[in-house]
Amino acid sequence: AQTVTQSQPEMSVQEAETVTLSCTYDTSESDYYLFWYKQPPSRQMILVIRQEAYKQQNATENRFSVNFQKAAKSFSLKISDSQLGDAAMYFCASGGATNKLIFGTGTLLAVQP
């Protein structure tokens, strides 16, 4: 069975600072992807970044990057130069051959001006 754990229910960061959201996962699949989704108050689920498990290089998307530690089954999200618009719930998720996403419980990120 796949599980995804986010141990930080809430985080806070000052505008322009950097914050890291933690995620650990467990899976028996050999081929899987990992994702971070953002859910702002509008409720829309927005893909932030994705990582293929077979790739050693950490994915980056502008101010968003991940630290993927496959052996430790860790997949953290770093947000640099935080902006007010980054305030949202962030979900870590894993997807395998069954093509369903398993989500963590989410981290609510507040950005302080």
Partner 1 sequence: DTAVSQTPKYLVTQMGNDKSIKCEQNLGHDTMYWYKQDSKKFLKIMFSYNNKELIINETVPNRFSPKSPDKAHLNLHINSLELGDSAVYFCASSQDPRGPTEAFFGQGTRLTVV
Residue closer to partner 1 by CB (options 9, 113) is 9
Q: Which residues, in sequence order, are CB contacts of 25 under 8 Å at separation 6+?
A: 2, 3, 4, 5, 34, 73, 74, 75, 92, 94, 102
| Interface with partner 1 (CB under 8 A), residue from 42, 56, 57, 62 | 42
Q: By C-beta, is 83 or 98 nearer to partner 1?
A: 98
Annotate each residue in 72-111 with x if it binds partner 1 (CB under 8 A) or - if it does not, as one string: -----------------x-x---xxxxxxxxx-xx-----
Name the site residues for partner 1 (rule: CB under 8 A): 31-33, 35, 37, 39, 42-45, 47, 50, 89, 91, 95-103, 105-106
